[in-house]
Amino acid sequence: MATATPFAFKTLPSPVGRLTLVAGDEGLAAVLWQDDRPGRVRLGTLAHQPDHPVLREAERQLLAYFAGDLTVFTVPLSFTGTAFQRQVWQALLTIPYGAVRSYTDIARQIGKPAAVRAVGAANGRNPLSIIAPCHRVVGLNGALTGFAGGLEAKDYLLTLERRRGTGAVPP
């Protein structure tokens, strides 16, 4: 019986805390938060491989994003989840840099307007935080709501995107 190939990982210090980047054979599989809830993203065995080409590219793009020099990620992605979750996560990829959408907007976009709570649950399990921009999803009234990285990180990311090009740096 063959064992599953381990996922490669490396850590990246960032303005929102230490991130753990995880890649599989198909592409980037996860961006995990320093204090991520255990089991939020289900992965197999992890092997420290900081020179993995997908991880190096993800690091380069994230650093450019935090510097305000990158607005669209192009690193190959490998989502693992249910068909519904993958549908929600693909919808996240369509939210433009600096824009926000509500859970209701996402539910309508995927053709399931009554699935607002399920969209919220799928959003909460998004394995590719920042890159599949779940931080751009807010409550219907525009309020910041749950985020795996914490509301302070969510606010930081949204502020970073709003201030891009103004020369201002988020507090």
Q: Active-site residue 43, yes or no?
A: no
Q: Under a CB-based contact definition with an 8 Å cutoff, are residues 59 and 99 in contact? A: no
- Residue 118 structure tokens: 């399920």
Q: Which of 19, 88, 115, 134 is catalytic?
A: 134
Q: What is the DSSP string of 58-100?
A: HHHHHHHHHTT--SS--S-B---S-HHHHHHHHHHTTSPTT--
| 39: CB partners within 8 A, 6+ apart | none
- Residue 168 structure tokens: 């201002």
DSSP-based three-state secondary structure for 55: helix
Count of beta carbons in the 10 Å neighbourhood of residue 87: 19
Beta bridge partners of 21: 10, 31
Residue that has been written with the tokens 């490396």 in this structure = 10
The span from the CA of 101 to the CA of 103, in Å, is 7
Just list the catalytic residues: 134
